[in-house]
Copies of this chain bind each other. A is one copy, B any other.
């Protein structure tokens, strides 16, 4: 049976919406709400029904209003709003990075299913999708082995990343002056400066900025295989940022400055400066990731 995480997330979002809606005003139409909450009308109606049942809203048909007797009602807990597939990914990464899982370990679908409390179907689906990230491998006999987040993995990742990033930077510099991307780069530059100013409180926001920057550079000459490779990087860095808290603020500040050097080099169209900035940034990103792989015990290479 499908989980109702979509409904629960929409319900919570609807509560936020209602909190700012004048009591007595009729609510937007179902279609409008569907667009705002990014779900189908079917789900909107289910949310409205639940809100009615909890007397958060009153009136029926096209006269739905925020109930005058509106009292705070319980939101659904966050965990229940994230899709099963995302939860499986998260749990798997935890299992791989936190628990014992050494490279070479056989992956047992049934055991993972039991451990995560989901059906085997969900595990299979996850493994099939996750395969492309290169952290697991299919055995010819059937079944999977953990390739693991090893030093070798990080080195291979960065070898490709260097090729792609340099190629994209070159194409970016060759962009015509009137290209929209220059303006986007300009905007992103501002975002960097803003974040740098507020680094002490907002250093967590760097992860997202990082991904946006590199994807913008790549968008100069789109290539689906490069985009797809960036999904790997995004995933790795997502978990890396999430778990490696050591020196986080400091690391991010350095990276922002490197980005700015890179951006300025791009704007100057000086390809030599671009290459230098690109190498510099990648070298330090690589070093950070490699340090993480050896700092934590479970990252040791198995052979």
Interface set of A (CB-CB < 8 Å, partner B): 121, 124-125, 128-129, 131-132, 134, 147, 153, 156-157, 159-160, 163, 167, 223-226, 228-229, 232
Question: Can you offer 25 A-B residue contacts whose CB atoms are under 8 A?
Answer: A121-B121, A124-B125, A125-B125, A125-B128, A128-B128, A128-B129, A129-B131, A131-B132, A132-B228, A134-B224, A134-B225, A134-B228, A153-B224, A156-B223, A156-B224, A156-B225, A157-B225, A159-B223, A160-B223, A160-B225, A160-B226, A163-B163, A163-B167, A225-B229, A225-B232
Q: Which of B132, B159, B163 contacts A132 (CB 8 A)?
A: B132
- Which residues of chain B are within 8 angstroms of A224 by Cβ–Cβ distance? 134, 147, 153, 156
> Measured between alpha carbons, how far is A34 from B39 in the docked complex, in Å?
53
- Which residues of chain B are within 8 angstroms of A121 by Cβ–Cβ distance? 121
- Which residues of chain B are within 8 angstroms of A131 by Cβ–Cβ distance? 129, 132
> Measured between alpha carbons, how far is A156 from B167 in the docked complex, in Å?
13
Given A159-B223, A160-B223: 20 more A-B contacts, CB < 8 Å:
A121-B121, A125-B125, A125-B128, A128-B129, A129-B131, A131-B132, A132-B132, A132-B228, A134-B225, A134-B228, A147-B224, A153-B224, A156-B223, A156-B224, A156-B225, A157-B225, A160-B226, A163-B163, A163-B167, A225-B229
* Chain B: minimal CB distance from A236 (Å): 12
> Measured between alpha carbons, how far is A163 from B223 in the docked complex, in Å?
13
A161 nearest CB neighbor, chain B only: B225
* Chain B: minimal CB distance from A157 (Å): 7
> Measured between alpha carbons, how far is A223 from B225 in the docked complex, in Å?
16
A124 nearest CB neighbor, chain B only: B125
- Which residues of chain B are within 8 angstroms of A157 by Cβ–Cβ distance? 225
* Chain B: minimal CB distance from A122 (Å): 11
> Measured between alpha carbons, how far is A128 from B123 in the docked complex, in Å?
12
- Which residues of chain B are within 8 angstroms of A147 by Cβ–Cβ distance? 224
Q: Which of A147, A167, A226, A228 has the most CB of B within 10 A?
A: A228
